Structure 1
Amino acid sequence: MTSKFTELAIDCADPDSLARFWCSVLDYEVQESEDGFVAIGSPAVPEGKNRPGPVPPSLTFARVPEGKTVKNRLHIDVNATDREQDEEVRRLLDLGARRVDVGQTGEESWAILADPEGNEFCVLAGRHP
């Protein structure tokens, strides 16, 4: 028996706001919400329909008192499914992301952004359905 990756827990200052941002990025929906905690995940598949591929992990956001102070040790990679990378980067910037410099050379095929609370994530160049 092995383990299965089911969720990514993210500490943050404003779980509701950060959950809304990531719902917009990933086309997820809120699955659970209580004071200081929000869980989001892929929308339910209608009865009789199949979801291609594995079920993606959920994201949970929990309020913590301390703020982000150092570079992330883990980050999320996203891949646009219906547009090119530069279009997706513009969409994410419009949602509240910002560009960050973590020492990239300019030769990378990915773009590095940060969510509204400063958590870095990458937008990959290749499109995957």
Structure 2
Amino acid sequence: MTSRIATVAIDALDVPRLAEFWMAVLGWRILEDDGEVLTIGPPDGTWPTIDLVRIGDLEAKTTKNRLHLDLRADGSTQALEVERVLALGARHADVGQGPDVSWVVLADPEGNEFCILSRSVQEAARPGT
């Protein structure tokens, strides 16, 4: 028996703002909001979901994430997806990546880093790619 990722939790100062950003990026919707935790997920009810957890100012992000999301542009190019996500409120982030990497590092409106890949890990693992 193994484990499966059910939910990724993201601490947030402004939960509604961050929820709107991630819903626009991923095409997801609100599944539940109990006032402290707002859960978003795919419209078809599949997993994983994202829990946006309200935190206080003293718990605000101050360092590089130790865990981040890697996103793949489905039905688009990496460049177009980066442009789209920047227009939604992301910004470029420098986490020490060199100039020769194939991914683009961005940060959400609260500074949480994530990457947009040039191709999926699955594609890179296939023979002949």
Residues in 2 aligned to 1:63 and 1:77: alpha-carbon distance in whole angstroms: 23
The match for 2:93 is 100
Q: Deviations over 1:10-61 (max 9, x none)?
A: 111011111111011111110001223210001026xxxxxxxxx4410000
SS at match of 2:75: coil
RCO (CA 8 Å, sep 6+): is it higher in 1 or 2? 1
CA RMSD of aligned residues (A): 1.4
The unaligned stretches of length 5 or more in structure 1 are 46-54
Residues in 2 aligned to 1:25 and 1:101: alpha-carbon distance in whole angstroms: 20
Q: Deviations over 1:68-88 (max 9, x none)?
A: 011100000000001100000
| Poorly superposed stretches of 4+, deviation over 3 Å | none
Match of 2:52 among 53, 61, 64: 61
Residues in 2 aligned to 1:90 and 1:56: alpha-carbon distance in whole angstroms: 26
Residues in 1 aligned to 2:29 and 2:51: alpha-carbon distance in whole angstroms: 12
Report the TM-score when normalising by structure 1. 0.87
> In the TM superposition, what are the counterparts of 1:25-44 in structure 2 within 5 Å?
25-44=25-44
Question: Does residue 118 of structure 2 align to residue 125 of structure 1?
Answer: yes
Residues in 1 aligned to 2:2 and 2:67: alpha-carbon distance in whole angstroms: 22
Residues in 2 aligned to 1:114 and 1:63: alpha-carbon distance in whole angstroms: 18
Residues in 1 aligned to 2:44 and 2:97: alpha-carbon distance in whole angstroms: 37
Residues in 1 aligned to 2:105 and 2:83: alpha-carbon distance in whole angstroms: 12
The match for 2:22 is 22
Structure with more helix by fraction: 2
The match for 1:49 is none
SS at match of 1:62: strand
Residues in 1 aligned to 2:118 and 2:3: alpha-carbon distance in whole angstroms: 30
Residues in 2 aligned to 1:85 and 1:15: alpha-carbon distance in whole angstroms: 27
* Residues matched between the structures, number: 119
Residues in 2 aligned to 1:112 and 1:36: alpha-carbon distance in whole angstroms: 29
The match for 2:125 is none
